[in-house]
Structure 1
Amino acid sequence: MTTWQGWHRFATTDPPAPPQPGDPPRSTEERLAYHSSFVTIRTPAISQLATQVRTLMILGRHQQATARPSLIVTGPAAAGKTTALLHVGRACHLAHTRKNPTPPGSAHGAAPVAYVLVPPGATAKTLITEFARYLGIPTTTRMTQTQITDAVCHTYTQAGIQLILIDEIHRLNPRTTTGAQAADLLKDLTERLPATFVYAGINVTDTPLFTGTRGAQLAGRATLIDCGPLPARHGRREPFRDVITDIENNLDLHQHKTGTLPRHAPYLHQRTAGRIGSLTRLIRQAAITAIHDGTERITKTALDTIRLDHLAETHHRPTRTR
């Protein structure tokens, strides 16, 4: 998805659809593929990000003198940051193309969204080269950073890029010379491009990105969206249980009894530390196992047999009853 062709294919391909009443039963292979890709569960972070992006894009639409306000999606690993980023980016892409269909006879429509990964050990030149690669802007080793930046700013403006998603932002370290130059490049781009920037990274507030003069500038322009673990309870609400219910309602298992998984919410919260990525992986793996072994349902015993990511497993300390 770090090229326009890949992003366009992702954004315009219908996402996986849950089974609907009256639909013919799917084959085993179809159901395995469905649980492998699965639907995107709309978490509170996704809802908040969607609202903020829509508002800030309108707020910055006619802003000319200074950089437009931006957003930073932060949280621990496996908290659903990239999922939220991609979900909102796809929604923006589809909304724009519905309002602005490709003219008849034109081979290419507008490109409203860009998705860029910060490369490991990013320098200003390697970072701007990633921006160029997304739209297929030709570059050579002889080109200077300034030349590539000028080409990117011109082409992105001509293409109609309105939303720029920058993932893995925690890889930038402004305390190093190269990291500081890369951070300055991003600041320059926010002032030269008529687009809203949304960054995502692991625990961004704990990294050097928010320290020093550059960090103060970023903090003064960016709204923070916390994509952290969901609490078991928030006031009278139980957001984690609500997400479990949504996941269960989208399963495609022949013998699974509705309401089973929400009853195990305390266990699932302990097992995953409230991380959405770990939760969805656990339930999807259990669903795939249930299809393979023919049980067609998920039980707590079945969940106990699933090995999760190391982060979740080191957090989980189950107590054995005798």
Structure 2
Amino acid sequence: MDAARTAPKPAAPAALAALWSPLDPELLTVREGFMDFVHRKLEPPDLQDCAPKGTKVTDTDPRMIYHGEMIPVSTPDVTQGLKDARRTLRTNRFRPTGKRMSMIIDGCAGKTMLLLQIGRAYQGLLETERRPDSEWTPVVYINVPPRHESNMDWSLPLADFFGMDHTVNIDKRTYRSTDMTEPVIHAMRESRTSLLLIDGIDRIHDSDLAGAFDYFDCLQARLRLSVIYSGRGATDIVNEGLHNRRRSERPRTSEQFRSSLPVMRINPIPFHAGQEEGWRTVLRAYDSNLRLYDHEPGSLLDLEEELHERTGGYMDTLDQLICQTAQQAIEDETEAITKEALDDMFVGRNDPDDD
């Protein structure tokens, strides 16, 4: 996660907000937005540079902005996934011929975070070897489009990433999109794209699987491209897509059809007897990243059972709960995360006594 945490020199108070936003950032599914994500320098604000304790602040105060996102915290599964992806992508880079090995991210919430951090770390590594410019685009990130009935539909999110106009004016009133496959392939070749991140693979309909994976296979055949597929149930979906079979026709329990592609799996973090350390490691990271005036170091670990009960070990829920509670602590000037503050948040599981 060091690539995600690269810190700039300490900033003056007026510049603190710039560490975290624009407040209306570009989408990650366009080149400018993804490049901003790759190059953002993440560092918690220094309390000495912030408004003094007790000062009423607005939602755009640097600490409010910071606690709306905070520095990404790596779970054991994310750490392992980054390591596995680096090994595969390193080998893929130096293969002169043949199709690059694809990868899969499957499991619970947190898949997109791993997918994006892989893309960020991969591009960060390549930028140690060459200076980025306005054309070079080593990583492309797309979401599965809502319509995918033809090659045209698959080409559009790729065209959008590169900022290509794919509409034709008809009678100066209506517009229709055109198949952008050839312009996209030309752009990816010219910009030396070598990694394609496909998020939301679970949105592909059963009837579209064969066509979708034919399209992805075509891209890999024509470009030196590694592909990472991410989505709920992605292992089964990719396996069935590669075999041109509908999900409803394949026995899910049969191992003979399991994908041979490497799978990076995101699971809820356990908190059972003998397995507490992973959860505590995550809480220590959040604890050290908090910037609240009355926060006592280590106090999040005093709430470890409460936090796991509320979140079930799911990182997206934990992140929302901590960020939301921290912002509220700034607003009401309590400046600390407590059990009472957590109980006041409408995030995560309800108290069993309330059922």
> Partners of 1:101 and 1:219 in 2: how far apart?
41
Aligned 8 A contact 1:73 1:81 in 2? yes
> Partners of 1:96 and 1:218 in 2: how far apart?
35
Is 1:210 paired with 2:234?
no
Aligned positions of 1:205-244 closer than 5 A: 205=235, 208-211=237-240, 213-214=243-244, 220-233=259-272, 235=274, 238-244=277-283
Moved over 4 A (4+): 140-145, 215-219, 233-237
Residue 125 of structure 1: how far off its partner (Å):
2.0
Aligned 8 A contact 2:102 2:226 in 1? yes
Q: CA distance change for structure 1 residues 234 and 183 in 2, over 3 Å: closer, same or farther?
A: farther
Is 1:199 paired with 2:229?
yes
Aligned 8 A contact 1:233 1:240 in 2? no
Aligned 8 A contact 1:172 1:209 in 2? no
> Partners of 1:185 and 1:128 in 2: how far apart?
9
> Partners of 1:208 and 1:73 in 2: how far apart?
11
What residue identity is the alignment partner of 1:245? R
What residue identity is the alignment partner of 1:196? S
- Residue 154 of structure 1, aligned match among 173, 183, 186: 186
Residue 222 of structure 1: how far off its partner (Å):
2.2
Is 1:134 paired with 2:161?
yes
Identity %: 30
TM normalised by structure 1 equals 0.84
Q: CA distance change for structure 1 residues 41 and 234 in 2, over 3 Å: closer, same or farther?
A: farther
What residue identity is the alignment partner of 1:46? V
Instruction: Give unpaired runs (5+ residues) of structure 2.
Output: 1-27, 52-56, 169-175, 251-255
> Partners of 2:286 and 2:314 in 1: how far apart?
14
Residue 12 of structure 1: how far off its partner (Å):
1.6
Residue 221 of structure 1: how far off its partner (Å):
4.7
Aligned 8 A contact 1:46 1:88 in 2? no
What residue identity is the alignment partner of 1:39? I
Q: Deviations over 1:202-233 (max 9, x none)?
A: 2324x644337237999545211111211114
Q: Deviations over 1:158-204 (max 9, x none)?
A: 2111211111111113x21x343122211222232212111211232
Aligned residues: CA RMSD: 2.6
Q: Deviations over 1:84-141 (max 9, x none)?
A: 2222222222222232014xxxx62521111111112333321221112212344346
What is aligned with 2:73?
41
TM normalised by structure 2 equals 0.77
What is aligned with 2:111?
81
What is aligned with 2:134?
108
Aligned 8 A contact 1:272 1:279 in 2? yes
Aligned positions of 1:168-187 closer than 5 A: 168-173=200-205, 175-176=206-207, 178-187=208-217
Q: CA distance change for structure 1 residues 110 and 233 in 2, over 3 Å: closer, same or farther?
A: farther
Is 1:257 paired with 2:296?
yes
Q: CA distance change for structure 1 residues 19 and 140 in 2, over 3 Å: closer, same or farther?
A: closer
What is aligned with 2:3?
none
Greater share of residues in helix = 1
Residue 234 of structure 1: how far off its partner (Å):
8.2
Is 1:245 paired with 2:284?
yes
Is 1:125 paired with 2:165?
no
Q: CA distance change for structure 1 residues 237 and 37 in 2, over 3 Å: closer, same or farther?
A: closer
Aligned 8 A contact 1:80 1:227 in 2? yes
What is aligned with 2:353?
319
- Residue 48 of structure 2, aligned match among 8, 20, 24: 24
Aligned 8 A contact 1:210 1:218 in 2? yes
- Residue 290 of structure 1, aligned match among 305, 313, 329: 329
Is 1:272 paired with 2:322?
no
Equivalent pairs counted in the alignment come to 301
SS at match of 2:337: coil
> Partners of 2:301 and 2:84 in 1: how far apart?
30
Aligned 8 A contact 1:68 1:191 in 2? no
> Partners of 2:301 and 2:37 in 1: how far apart?
31
Residue 66 of structure 1: how far off its partner (Å):
3.6
What residue identity is the alignment partner of 1:101? R
